[in-house]
Structure 1
Amino acid sequence: MKRILLFVLGCFVGNPLVSLAQSDTLRLTLAQADAQFHQNNLQLMATKLGVDENKAYEYQAKLWNNPSLYVEQMPYNAQTMEVMPLRQRNSEQVVQVQQLLLLADKRNKQLAMARTGTELANDRFYDLLRTLNYQLRTTFYDLYYAQQALSVYEQEIGTLQQTVTLFQQQYDKGNIALKDLTRLKAYLFNLTTERQQLLRKLTDDQADLAVLLNASPSVTFQPVLENISALQPAVGQLNLNDLYKLAEENRYDLKAFRDQAIQEKQNLSLQKAMAVPDLSLQATYDRNAGYIPNYVGVGVGINLPVFNKNQGNIRAAAVRVQSSQQATDAYTIQVESDVRRAFQKVQQTDQLYRTFDQQFNGDFGRLIQGVTTNYRKQNIDVVEFLDFFDSYKSSQIQYNQLQNDRMQSLEELNFAVGTNLFTK
């Protein structure tokens, strides 16, 4: 256990706000989870390296082509029977240097494509950040409200277990009917089954949160919502057109489509430039093979664009430009649809939440205590008791789910527009 504690402390040393409630339980707020996520998430780290990789490609595109060197030496002079002769009168050496010069501004066009590739890698990184951050926050809320629901089941099961124990004793004495005791045990079993299903959900949420935070699977997270009453965003002040504009500015997946369209246009420009042949400059030194010794010459070489004018690649690039623009237009419509749907969900859940009487659960809680006391005194029958008991559980769980649905819808709207609209 000490080793687990030391490991957990080591994982969270960069975040002093995270505290340990027990040796393997972590209490953390949403802000602390966000900080831990940005610092330790492995997917983010891997994708960030992709940006650095594309910057390296961008640097490579800036470099000039290397010159080429050609050296020729006579290996054997048959007249003098010398191997590798070096004397001027009986040997021959040729030295050539070539340099390729890209014409039609090909180098700058390739550099522009590389820079757009870096932008695309950056878009992928920030879109992954948006997606994982959404998963983190929704999982955080799911786990928090699931733990709140679990406390309701624990309370009800504990109370009902005591009641069953008392009535088992009364049944053994012959004071109550078997059917009443059986009803109580059946309802207790039903509560235990529902609790077990909730525990499975909690296990999944815990595992997902551990992966997102790159934490040990042995750590149990206990989310803490600070100042829940302050989480009352002014949903009525949101404007759908403003949300569209925010999505245009902040959705990096949409920006990736636009950057892809830009890169396709750059590729079309490059393919047209590739139809222009490049120029090759050459300098030659020939020691004895020419009509004069120590010959020095310069030359220029260029391919003649007679048959291959890069027609196929230009045509394909033009098609890709059209395709990428259509894909961008289609995805823009999809983004607007996402924003509109998320906005409608926020309005619906927020309206339902604000119309709910939040004193209802407290009043119901006090009522059920009285009902339990009266049932143990046998002032009410088992049917009425279980009806109140089930109504209390349902109201608590439904109100808990209502709060979770509200927070989930707010996060879905944040996800749709690509930025946080509300106070954390």
Structure 2
Amino acid sequence: MKRVLTGLICMLLSWPGFGQTPTTPTDSLRLTLPQAEDQFRRHNLSLLATRLGIDEYRAYQAQAKLFSNPTVYIEQMPYNRQTRDFMPVKQSNSEQVIQVQQLLLLAGKRNKQLALAATNTKIAADRFEDLARTLSFQLHSAFYDLHYQQQAMSVYDQVMNTLSQTVTLYQQQYDKGNVPLKDLARLKAYLFNLSNERQQRLAQIADDQATLSVLLNTMPDQPIRPEVTAMDPDPRRNPAVLSLDSLVALAERNRPDLRAYRDQVTAERQNLTLQKANAVPDLTVQGTYDRNAGYIPNYFGVGVGMALPFFNRNQGNIQAARIRTQSSQQLESGYRLQVENELQQSLTKARQADQLYRTFDRRFNSDFSRLIEGVTLNYRKQNIDVVEFLDFFDSYKTSQLQFIQLQNDRMQRLEELDLAVGSNPFIR
């Protein structure tokens, strides 16, 4: 039996395609991260819809610049009972009155409305940038996760391909009575467990593919193949060199959601100023022409009108605006504290993931061919059996998958740190 197992291992080592990564379909959409970001910015439907919201508030801002329209009043005598004329137009037998009114806003209401509209436009822009930031994080997260899940699938395909060949050859030897059933059963059980693990990876790949398909607005049935360069430890992306204070300062400048809270405070203050101005009555200027006035013919008159603020001085709206201003200030302070906690948490996780990644010994992964030759040599010396042979394959699979997962975890934590900061903190 020992000779049989040695022969099987040697055949597997010389099997064409052993240790090679399976090729991807030719119709896969291959994208680097910059290419994915460019397509995301140009084609994501949520971004396009939210960008239109900025134009909407710009239209409101343009509306706030406009003056009130003048009002024209015309009065015509329909019937002269003395002359029995219908719709008389002669001055001797008719009466016409024309009035023109113009509303004039006092207390700087127009400028205050314009300032409030401009701030609302900034808030809409902040919301757009925050949506872009959040969706960009989802894009990066799914992009890297899909890349590393596909790498993990390559490991499963390599190991399962080797093990399937082993099971096939063992089945042939078992049918001939050369190997015991217990060894064949161990191989089949291990292969079945690998199939279950591989199926879970396929489900995660399907989720990542669906996420990227929505974000990039591509066909759902088009496979996406992320292209990522080798992620060796990069000193420029070392979270250990970052400080919390510097990250807080960056977040204050770069996070659009934090800017939106600050702009909301500004908007509430401007609204309070506007409501106080609304307590001042507006002025109406009027010009009147009366063709056959009772005083003199062709009467021209000028008048002004104003509401008397005896009962309604806009007290309720002023009080409500004052409360909203205080509330927005409290919300801003609370959100700033939340951002600081997010930064602390993200920095801690990034440091832990990066440190673990940098301390992982990757030499085993690069020396698999030499190691399996050593396994074969040890078997020829009758130092290992089938169980130890499977243990080696399981160790190899686990080591490969752990290294891939470490890379994935590191990139995910770095992306979470970028999300918390609002930009890449390693780019100055």
**TM-score normalised by the chain length of structure 2:** 0.91
Structure 1 residue identity aligned to 2:300: V
Who is 2:55 aligned against? 52
> Distance between the aligned counterparts of 1:413 and 1:149, measured in 2?
25
For residues 377 and 200 of structure 1, what CA distance do their matches in structure 2 show?
43
Taking a change above 3 Å as real, the CA distance of residues 73 and 383 of structure 1, as seen in their structure-2 partners, is same
Which residue in the other structure is 1:228 paired with?
231
Conserved? CA contact 2:76–2:96, under 8 Å:
yes
Query: Can you list the C-alpha shifts for 1:177-211, whole angstroms capped at 9, x where unaligned?
Result: 11211111111011011111111111111111111
Classify the secondary structure of the residue corresponding to 2:258. Answer: helix
1:99 aligns with 2:124: no
Shift of 1:63: 0.6
Q: Contact 1:24 / 1:218 at 8 angstroms: preserved in 2?
A: no
1:91 alignment partner AA: S
Relative to structure 1, is the Cα distance of residues 58 and 155 closer, same or farther in structure 2, using a 3 angstrom cutoff?
same
Deviations 1:308-351 (A, max 9, x none): 00000000000000000000000000011111111111111111
- Partner amino acid, structure 2, of 1:180: D
Find the partner of 1:62 among 47, 65, 74.
65
Secondary structure class of the residue paired with 1:228: coil
Helix, strand or coil for the counterpart of 2:295? coil
In the alignment, is residue 147 of structure 1 matched against residue 153 of structure 2?
A: no
The letter for the 2-side match of 1:385 is F
- Partner SS state of residue 410, structure 2: helix
**Within 5 A, what are the aligned runs for 1:341-352?**
341-352=345-356
Q: Distance in 2 between matches of 1:418 and 1:178?
A: 60
Q: Which of 334, 339, 342 is 2:343 aligned to?
A: 339
* CA deviations over 1:388-416 (Å, ceiling 9, x no partner): 22121111111110010001111111100
Q: How far does residue 291 in structure 1 lie from its aligned partner after superposition?
A: 2.1
Where does residue 71 of structure 1 map in the other structure? 74
Given candidates 193, 210, 214, the residue that maps to 2:213 is: 210
The reply on whether 1:411 has 2:410 as its aligned counterpart is no
Q: For the structure 1 residues 369 and 33, does the alpha-carbon distance in structure 2 shift closer, same or farther, using more than 3 Å as the test?
A: farther
Q: TM-score, normalised by structure 1?
A: 0.91
For the structure 1 residues 24 and 364, does the alpha-carbon distance in structure 2 shift closer, same or farther, using more than 3 Å as the test?
Answer: closer
Q: 1:241 aligns to what? A: 245
2:141 matched to 1:138? yes
Alpha-carbon offset, residue 31 of structure 1: 1.5
Partner of 2:115: 112
Label 1:415 to 1:330 Cα distance change in 2 as closer, same or farther (>3 A): same
Q: Deviations over 1:102-155 (max 9, x none)?
A: 001000000000000110011011111111111111111000000000000000
Superposed displacement of residue 383, structure 1 = 2.0
**8 Å Cα contact 1:25/1:221 also seen in 2:** yes
Closer, same or farther: CA 256–202 of 1 in aligned 2, 3 Å: same
1:26 aligns with 29
Other-structure match for 2:174: 171
Q: Retained in 2: the 8 A contact 1:96–1:283?
A: yes
Distance 1:239 1:393, change over 3 A: same
Q: Tell me the CA shift for residue 372 of structure 1.
A: 6.5
CA contact (8 A) 2:231 2:407 kept: no
Moved more, 179-188 or 61-70: 179-188
Partner in structure 1 of residue 292 of structure 2: 288
> Contact 1:29 / 1:226 at 8 angstroms: preserved in 2?
no
Instruction: Give the whole-Å Cα distance in 2 for the aligned partners of 1:390 and 1:372.
Output: 16
Amino acid at match of 1:404: N
Aligned residue for 2:14? none
Contact 1:113–1:266 at 8 Å: present in 2 too? yes
Matched, 1:307 2:311: yes
Cα separation, 1, equivalents of 2:291 and 2:77: 11
Deviates more, 1:382-391 or 1:316-325: 382-391
Conservation of the 8 A alpha-carbon contact between 1:124 and 1:252: yes
Read off the aligned partner of 2:308 and give its amino acid letter. Answer: L
Distance 1:196 1:377 in 2: 37
The residue that corresponds to 1:5 in the other structure is none
CA shift, 1:230, in A, is 6.4
- Counterpart Cα distance in 1 of 2:346 and 2:150: 26
1:48 aligned partner, one-letter code: R
Aligned partner of residue 229 in structure 1, secondary structure: coil
Match of residue 277, structure 1, among 266, 278, 281: 281
Partner of 2:13: none
Question: RMSD of aligned C-alpha atoms?
Answer: 1.8
Which residue, out of 159, 167, 172, partners 1:156? Answer: 159
In structure 2, relative to structure 1, the CA distance for the partners of 1:386 and 1:227 (3 Å cut) is closer
- Residue of 124, 129, 132 corresponding to 2:127: 124
User: 2:59 and 2:43 mapped to 1: Cα distance?
Assistant: 24
Could you tell me how far apart the structure 2 residues matched to 1:253 and 1:266 are?
20
In the other structure, the counterpart of 1:185 is 188
SS at 2:367's partner residue?
helix
> 2:92 is paired with a residue of what secondary structure?
helix
Alignment partners' CA distance in 2, 1:98 and 1:280? 7
Residues in 2 aligned to 1:214 and 1:138: alpha-carbon distance in whole angstroms: 17
- Post-superposition offset of 1:23: 4.6
Q: 1:166 to 1:230 in 2, by over 3 A?
A: same
Q: How far off is 1:371 after superposition? A: 3.4
Q: How many residues align?
A: 403
Mapped to 2, the partners of 1:365 and 1:314 lie a distance apart of 78
Aligned residue type for 1:134: F
Unmatched 5+ stretches in structure 1: 1-20
**Which residue does 2:198 correspond to in 1?**
195
